[in-house]
Copies of this chain bind each other. A is one copy, B any other.
Amino acid sequence: MTNHPTNTPCALCTSRKFSLFSDLPENQVCTISDHKNLISHRKGQILYYEGTKPLGIFCIKSGVVKVYKTASNGKEQIIHLAQKGDILGYAALLGEENYSNSSKIVEDARICFVPKDVFISSLHQNPAFYQRVTKSLSHEIGVMEEKLTNATQKSIRERLAYVLLQLGNSYGVEGGGNQKIDIMLSREEIAGIVGTATESVIRLLSEFKKDNLIELEGKKIILKDRRALARLSDFYAG
């Protein structure tokens, strides 16, 4: 497989520093680099579909990807918003199962595809790397347990407040004491993260705005009072 001119070598990729591949030895980075394929994706494109067979992993160099499940009522439950440095699809590969979720581009993205056998052999060649991947899988389980517990035991208001804080942590840009969530998400997508109806998100955001917790700048949300949001998000805090 030949590299496309825009196919930055992994050795030079700035996003790699944030990824599971961050401290892979140079020779392994090169092997992966030689076999990877960088593809540009536009908003709305599907990266893979739930139920299909994984053929490799995706490394996000830039952009935002939503990982979601389509419920039987047709709504999308967003599991995770992935950004630069995030690796997608390795759980399905290691689980030797078809994809348990779908993924779609939320903000134009450049994503490298690494074929299955290249990834798997890099794992086996490097026990420390294998261990980091396993660690990441294990961590993910804990995260999911937390999400499940929040979903069943907290109100939509609490969950929305929590999601806003998380989005602030991942996509926040500081400015004037406030934090702007610098990512283009539709209200429907926010609803998909929280696990609620679009109208509920819209209504609660208006309410948060009225209570001076947030500010709305077009589709983007600015967090004005994170302490209050934190209090709102948890029964006991504060």
**A residues within 8 Å of B by Cβ?**
69, 71-73, 75, 77, 79, 90-97, 100-101, 124, 127, 130-131, 133-135, 137-142, 144-154, 194-196, 234-236
Contact = CB atoms under 8 A, between A and B. Distances in A.
Given A71-B154, A127-B124, A77 B149 contact: yes
A73 B134 CA distance: 32
B138 A95 contact: yes
A10 to B, nearest CB: 23
Contact of A196 (B92, B124, B149, B152): B152
B145 A79 contact: yes
28 contacts: A69-B145, A69-B146, A69-B148, A69-B149, A71-B152, A71-B154, A72-B234, A72-B235, A73-B153, A73-B154, A73-B235, A79-B145, A91-B138, A92-B142, A94-B135, A96-B138, A97-B138, A100-B142, A100-B146, A124-B127, A130-B130, A133-B134, A134-B137, A137-B138, A144-B144, A151-B195, A152-B195, A153-B195
Given A72-B153, A77-B149, A101-B145, A139 B95 contact: yes
B79 A153 contact: no
A79 B137 contact: no
A22 to B, nearest CB: 16
B146 A148 contact: no
Contacts of A90: 138
Name the 6 nearest CB pairs between A and B, nearest first. A152-B195, A95-B138, A100-B142, A144-B144, A71-B153, A72-B235
A69 B143 CA distance: 12
> Of A94, A142, A194, A236, which is in contact with the most chain B CB atoms at under 10 Å from its CB?
A142
Nearest to A150: B71
Contact of A92 (B95, B138, B234): B138
